[in-house]
Amino acid sequence: MGTKTLGAGTVPDRDHGAGGRRRHPWRAVSSLAGALLLAGVSVVVGCRVVDSDGITPVPQALAFLPWLLVPGGAGLVCAAFGRWRAGMVWGVAVLAVTGWYTQPYGADATRPKGSILAEFHVLTSNTEFGWATDDLITTVKRERPDLVFVEECSFRCADVLAADLPKADYPYRDVVREDGSAGSAILSRFPLRAVEPIESVMAMPGAVVAIGGRDVRIQLAHPSPPLPGDDTKWHQELGRIREFARSAKGDPVIVAGDFNATQDHALFRSVLDAGALHDSARMTGQSGAWSWPADRSTPLRTQIDHVLVSGDFKATSARFLELRGTDHRALLVGLSLYGG
């Protein structure tokens, strides 16, 4: 041990200890930074592992789970610079688990039984308080979808849909006239019979439509978002969508809209599992495509707009479309209905 003389006695050299040279201060700081980063990521990924959405800020962070590879990687680098071996093992484990959960959720859908009864297209679009209605009209006229689900359809949105989309094109409609984000609409080329909506802050109408000689239960989804510190309504309304999916299980079902949830949210996965539903984007290799936010330049984007279908359907295509005036991309899905 190195020593320095101090009067009649001696003291240990401050740069040395029983185990060798003391860690340099910047290495300690680097290790601490790594620990903080890895701890934050571990909390969110841990909730994903145990199938829980946790509390704020976990639901918000889960929406961007693949992006947690960035702070997780930074935590590993900090641990390496700090020569903190336990931290390096921790960092590798966090990255491995996070990477695993970036894979699409669920098994591949099996081919539906029977023959094709009908082929058609479904469009869902959140128009953000109706501001994107004009672009929505243009898109509908160009793409000619057979079913259209519109979220956040304000009074103006409802009026423009009535004026600019002829009844001859969409003779069957269920429009909930509310202002701001509360209004919604379902437009259909197929005969439509409205049913009891799902209770929610923003309207979620449903209907039964006749497609290819079969009754198909359709449902618009637009639960409240998981606002920081106030995600109670989100839990309640996604839970009601899950109960709907469970009650309709066994029938041809389409659930489309802005779910304010991704495949990394336990509540969204419970909707899929309860109704034996499949995500059309997943079925067509578009799980990694984003739908929100579309109104600003940011790498932090995610897919919260979905078209879910029962095993009676095969998704043949899925495209996310840009609309001016909204923070969401519209989703256009091609479907084939099987039966017989």
Is the sign of the CA dihedral 8, 11, 13, 17 positive or negative?
Answer: positive
Shared domain for 90 and 170, answered yes or no, is: no
Shared domain for 156 and 259, answered yes or no, is: yes
**Number of domains the chain contains:** 2
Shared domain for 92 and 120, answered yes or no, is: no
Q: Is residue 110 part of a domain?
A: no
Q: Is residue 240 part of a domain?
A: yes
Instruction: Give the pLDDT confidence score for residue 21 in this predicted structure.
Output: 60
CATH code at 243?
A: 3.60.10.10
Shared domain for 205 and 248, answered yes or no, is: yes
Shared domain for 205 and 243, answered yes or no, is: yes
- pLDDT at residue 7 tops 60: no
Q: Is residue 259 part of a domain?
A: yes
Instruction: Give the pLDDT confidence score for residue 193 in this predicted structure.
Output: 95
Which of 45, 66, 100 is the last residue in one of the domains? 100
Q: Is residue 32 part of a domain?
A: yes
CA–CA dist 4, 182 (Å, integer): 77
Instruction: Give the pLDDT confidence score for residue 106 in this predicted structure.
Output: 79
Shared domain for 145 and 227, answered yes or no, is: yes
Confidence of residue 22 (pLDDT cuts 50, 70, 90): low
Shared domain for 62 and 189, answered yes or no, is: no
Shared domain for 13 and 75, answered yes or no, is: yes
> pLDDT tens digit string along 275-314?
999 999 999 999 999 999 999 889 999 999 999 999 999 9
Shared domain for 194 and 84, answered yes or no, is: no
The answer to whether 319 touches 307, Cβ cutoff 8 Å, is no
DSSP E strands, the chain:
3-6, 9-12, 16-17, 20-21, 115-126, 147-151, 172-176, 184-188, 192-198, 204-211, 214-221, 253-258, 278-279, 305-309, 313-321, 330-339
Instruction: Give the pLDDT confidence score for residue 2 in this predicted structure.
Output: 46
Let me know if 143 is exposed, middle or buried by CB neighbors in 10 A (0-12, 13-18, 19+).
middle
Instruction: Give the pLDDT confidence score for residue 10 in this predicted structure.
Output: 41
> What percent of the chain lies above the pLDDT cut of 70?
93
Which of 35, 69, 100 is the last residue in one of the domains? 100
- pLDDT at residue 108 tops 90: no
**Mean pLDDT in residue range 35-49:** 98
> pLDDT tens digit string along 59-80?
999 999 999 999 999 999 999 9
266 sits in which H/E element: helix 266-275
Instruction: Give the pLDDT confidence score for residue 14 in this predicted structure.
Output: 42
Shared domain for 214 and 281, answered yes or no, is: yes
User: Which amino acid would we find at residue 8?
Assistant: A
CA–CA dist 26, 139 (Å, integer): 56
Shared domain for 35 and 123, answered yes or no, is: no
- pLDDT at residue 4 tops 70: no
Instruction: Give the pLDDT confidence score for residue 322 in this predicted structure.
Output: 97
- pLDDT at residue 13 tops 80: no
Instruction: Give the pLDDT confidence score for residue 340 in this predicted structure.
Output: 79
Provide the whole-model pTM: 0.91
Instruction: Give the pLDDT confidence score for residue 123 in this predicted structure.
Output: 99
Q: Is residue 105 part of a domain?
A: no
> pLDDT tens digit string along 122-172?
999 999 999 999 999 999 999 999 999 999 999 999 999 999 999 999 999
**Mean pLDDT in residue range 211-225:** 98
Helix ranges (DSSP H) in 50-194: 58-62, 69-81, 85-100, 133-143, 155-164
In this structure, the number of other CB atoms found within 10 A of the CB of residue 163 comes to: 9
In this structure, the number of other CB atoms found within 10 A of the CB of residue 239 comes to: 15
Shared domain for 87 and 125, answered yes or no, is: no
The answer to whether 206 touches 198, Cβ cutoff 8 Å, is yes
Q: Is residue 109 part of a domain?
A: no
Q: How many residues does the chain have?
A: 340
Range of the domain at 7: 3-100
Mean of all residue pLDDT scores within the chain: 93
Instruction: Give the pLDDT confidence score for residue 19 in this predicted structure.
Output: 47
What is the CA 45 to chain-centroid distance, rounded?
16
- pLDDT at residue 182 tops 50: yes
Look up residue 151 and give its two tokens.
């979220």
Which of 44, 66, 100 is the last residue in one of the domains? 100
Instruction: Give the pLDDT confidence score for residue 1 in this predicted structure.
Output: 44
Q: Is residue 107 part of a domain?
A: no
> pLDDT tens digit string along 260-275?
999 999 999 999 999 9
